[in-house]
Amino acid sequence: MTAASDLDGFRSEVSEWVQSNFPSALKGFDLGADSPSDKGVSGEFRAWRQALADKGWGTPTWPKEYGGAGRSDPEAKVIRQEIAKAGAFNPIPPMTGMGVTMVGPTILEYGTDEQKAKHLPGIASGEVRWCLGLSEPNAGSDLASLSTKAVDEGDAFILNGQKIWTSGAHISQWCGAVVRTDPKAKKRDGISFVMLPMDQKGVETRLIKLISGASPFCETFFNEARADKSDLLGDLNDGWSVVKRLLQHERQSQTSAPAAVKIDQEPLQEQAKRYVGTLEDGTLADPDLRLRVVENLMDAEAHKLTVSRITAEAKGQVKVSAAASILKNSMTRVAQTKAELTLEMMGNQGIGWEGEQFSEEELRSVRDWLMGKAMSIYGGSAEIQNNIISKNILGLPETTQQG
């Protein structure tokens, strides 16, 4: 009971602080798909980012000494809720690329004190953007077959090779990359995780244009690029365990981020009624579409309930619930199906590419639908997720057929 009333006290503290610090000019600002940085935004935006950073509330669960606020998960949730309630937003995670969601938590776990002090404060304040060099043209789902080489040259590693799907590489200041440090070892044993600055002669990036027309990803070329030895994360040749942890953080950020869902978004069934109309009894005029919409809404609810069940189960337990393994595929299915249904209900208005015959909502739905196809590919494809579930969770043997 004490804990709950403490939390209530903290809630009103947060609420008051947000009310008095969030600039009203920023209300309704769309963080969206843009990747804001301090350069491209208003003074109010910068001030709000800095105010949050000063409180440590951009990354509330991180230790104070590294720019966080040393808060518990329930307190962090309160901060998220109160920020959303005030119509405000936390710009720090998107401003850091992969920094807050993946790199930071992994440094917290694997980093030395020096590495934490060097890298975490810049992420916690939203000032340093990070990208990740994981996939390569010939190492996608089979990531461990990567071939970017890192050669020991005394106080640094010299990198040669190519990475692909490096989100935001062209605007990032730092990169975490998996590289091959021992070409003779078995493929998972000769890999290390290094961190290197992007602003150097040996690093080049090229944007990749996607089917949605957007270019959020790059190809990144390392040509005699340099990573300081002091920026080796984890042990030499033990990069595979760092990557596995990193990918767990990625899956977590992809599946348990209700903040990504806009609170004032029109429910799917209302959108359907608007485009399709209703029959006399109030049901949707297209009964086939109606059933598929309700199934999607039920699946969304089942997913949401599963996230809360896992949270409830996790209380006081160290072991992560086995159910957590299904979240990425479940989230993906719900989102992709919803995007398909949205276009379908829009009909002739759901096929526009650009131009004033189509509303902004309609054009965005098309782009989102296309972009959403990536969800079942990145962060371990749907098939890789099922491999993980069948082997790690269900204990089925390694596959005997090469797949």
Partner 1 sequence: MAALTEEQTLIKDQATSWASAEAPVSKFRAMRNEGTDIGFAKPTWSAMVEMGWTGILVPEEYGGSDLGYLTFGLVLEELGKQLAASPLFASAYVGATALLLAGTEAQKSSHLPRIVDGTEIVTLAVDEGPRHAPARTALEAKSEGGKHVLTGSKTLVLEGMSATHFLVVVRSTGKVGEAQGLSLFIVPADAMGLSRRAMKTMDSRGYAELNFDGVEVSDADLMGPAGQAGEVLDEILDRARAGIGAEMLGVGSQAFAMTLDYLKTRKQFGAVIGSFQALGHRAAELFAAMELARSCGEAALQEIDAQSNSVAKACSLSKAKVGDFLHTMSNQLIQIHGGIGMTDEFDAGLYLKRARVLATLYGNQSYHRDRYARLLGF
Which residues of this protein are in contact with partner 1, per CB under 8 A? 267, 269-270, 272-273, 278, 282-284, 290-291, 293-295, 297-299, 301-303, 305-306, 308-309, 312-313, 315, 322-323, 326, 329-330, 383, 385-387, 389-391, 393-401, 403
- Do 213 and 66 form a contact (C-beta atoms < 8 A)? no
Q: Which amino acid is at 387?
A: N
Determine how β-strand 174-180 pairs with β-strand 191-197.
antiparallel
CB of 117 or CB of 298, closer to partner 1: 298
Question: Rounded distance, CA 11 to CA 283, Å?
Answer: 41
160, β-bridge pairs: 149, 223
b/e map of 33-67 (b: 16 or more CB within 10 Å)? eebbbeeebeeebeebbebbbeebbbbbbbeeebb
| Residue placing its CB nearer to partner 1 in the complex, 12 or 283 | 283
Nearest residue (CB) to partner 1, 160 versus 269: 269
- Would you say 40 or 277 has its CB closer to partner 1? 277
Cβ atoms 21, 86 nearer than 8 A: no
Q: 203 pairs with which residues across the strands?
A: 222
Pairing of strands 191-197, 217-228: unpaired
Nearer to partner 1, 355 or 403 (CB): 403
β partners of residue 226 = 158
**Could you write out the DSSP letters of every residue in 86-140?**
TT----HHHHTBTIIIIIHHHHHHH--HHHHHHHHHHHHTT---EEEE--BTTBS
CA distance 395 to 403: 18
Q: How far is the CB of 316 from partner 1 (least distance, A)?
A: 9
For residue 162 the two structure tokens come to 């190519």
Q: How far is the CB of 284 from partner 1 (least distance, A)?
A: 5
Nearest residue (CB) to partner 1, 226 versus 273: 273
Active site residue 250: yes
CA distances from 162 to 82, 97, 150, 221 (A): 43, 20, 12, 5
Residue with tokens 């004032």: 264
Minimum distance of partner 1 from residue 264's CB (angstroms): 18
Report d(CA 162, CA 147) in Å as an integer.
Answer: 8
State the Cα–Cα distance between residues 76 and 13, nearest whole angstrom.
13
Distance in Å, CB of 339 to partner 1, minimum:
19
Compare residues 4 and 312 and give the one whose CB is closer to partner 1: 312
The active-site residue, picked from 250, 295, 313, 354, is 250
d(CA 233, CA 241): 11
Residues 6+ apart with CB under 8 A from 296: 268, 334, 337, 338, 341
**Least Å from the CB of residue 308 to partner 1:** 8
- In the complex, minimum distance from the CB of residue 401 to partner 1, in angstroms, rounded to a whole number: 6
Min. distance of Cβ 251 from partner 1 in angstroms? Answer: 14
Positions marked active-site: 250
